[in-house]
Amino acid sequence: MEGFGTLTDVVNNSFRQAAEDSGMLLGQELVIGEADRIATNRQTYFCDMDDVCFVAEVTASGDYAGKFHVVFGLRDAICMSGFLLGIPTARINEKRRLAIMENDDVDAFSEIVNQVVGSFNSVFQPSFGNKVHLKVVPPKKFIPESTELTETEPVPDGEYLLFRGRMELSGMEMGNLDVLIPMDLALLFDPPAEEPEPPVEEIVAEAVDAPDDAEEVEAGAETEADGEAAQEPAAAAAGAPRPVDENCRRVLILEDDESDRQRIRELLEEKGYEPVEAGLDADIREIFSQGGVRLVVLGIHNGDDRDMAVCIKIKAIAQGDTLPIIMCAREWTRSAVLKAVKYGARDIIVKPYQSDEVVAKVAKFLKAA
């Protein structure tokens, strides 16, 4: 399965540390192999189990709060506790064969589990900025076809990420060390990486290729632009834009930042355009009544509805003309770009203004107009 690379690395490092520390405790060379990572659920995991096991609940506190479980097979628990107690190997093998685990074995195994989780803690803490602490409670025995599965026992019902590492102990046949981490806790430890936003140009192209939404917004432009076109037909006729000379190179710059406005004006003047500048609260109808505007560079603040309303007003005043509008803001999210295009923008620019970009986009639209 994809994802969880960081958490997998942490678990594998925990396995290695636990093998080293527990091996020293037992006086034996213990190896825990690289973990297999499996998506499972409580029902599947325990219903497929054939042998008795011990389930230890581990509580994670701090910024990564939750609970996960460490699972050992019964015969592995007998083996490790036997070595810790100094029991001869022949007797350990006999107890494993007969599945005998006495009180001393249980106490010794609890100490081993504490050691294992302590090793996990020494890896998890630095891996997660010392914002997590692990604490284990004594393990509980689970007997297949005997122990009842309840809502919370032996582990809470739900989806899990299973990390399974094969244990090896000199001269002994060993099973797996399983770590069952609830999926929501796994996602807290290792959230999926956010997909990077595609280039702004791709978002604009995608939005322009979706005409249905754009037409829907434009259809209501007159009513949203202060109701001017619908409620004051006489005024609209009086202030209607004059016919545009195809050779005209007039560009309207609507920008509240005076320094930005001046910079764009000077830039366009150098390239032979005829810039007309104003703030966002200017009488846009009056400017258009003077005629000749063939493109608008609209500098907005943060892309909220008030800013977008300026774009709607321009489209309403242009009375259906295919007037290009280039909207400019300091930050563009995907949703903001799609919204700008729906409201009538033909392209966008990310502030601060880059001279080459402004000139290229103005030239592109005036050439196509």
Neighbours of 113 (CB within 10 A): 21
Tokens 């919370």 belong to 152
Residue 258: CATH number of its domain: 3.40.50.2300
Do residue 211 and residue 360 come from a single domain?
Answer: yes
Q: Are residues 62 and 178 in the same domain?
A: yes
Residues 47 and 183 in one domain: yes
Distance (Å, rounded) from C-alpha 19 to C-alpha 348? 57
Range of the domain at 241: 200-368
Neighbouring residues of 213: CB distance < 8 A, sequence distance ≥ 6: 342
At 218-277, the pLDDT tens digits run 444 444 444 444 443 444 444 455 554 556 789 999 999 999 999 999 999 999 999 999
The residue type found at 249 is R
How far is the C-alpha of 355 from the C-alpha of 118, rounded, in Å?
A: 59
The backbone torsions φ and ψ at residue 363, rounded to the nearest 5 degrees and listed phi first, read: -60, -40
Sheet (strand 293-299) strand order:
274-278, 250-254, 293-299, 325-329, 347-350
**In this predicted structure, what is the pLDDT of residue 210?**
60
pLDDT tens-digit map of 101-143: 999 999 999 999 999 999 999 999 999 999 999 999 999 999 9
- For the record, the structure tokens of 356 come out as 């080459």
Q: Are residues 117 and 240 in the same domain?
A: no
Residue 249 lies in a domain: yes
Distance CA 303, CA 308 (A): 6
Alpha carbon of residue 86 to chain centroid: 51
Q: Are residues 135 and 171 in the same domain?
A: yes
DSSP state of 131: -
Does the model's pTM come out above 0.75?
no
Contact 11, 70 (CB under 8 A): no
How many domains, the chain? 2
Residues 146 and 222 in one domain: no
Domain boundary among 154, 189, 224: 189
Question: Cβ–Cβ contacts within 10 Å for residue 99, how many?
Answer: 11
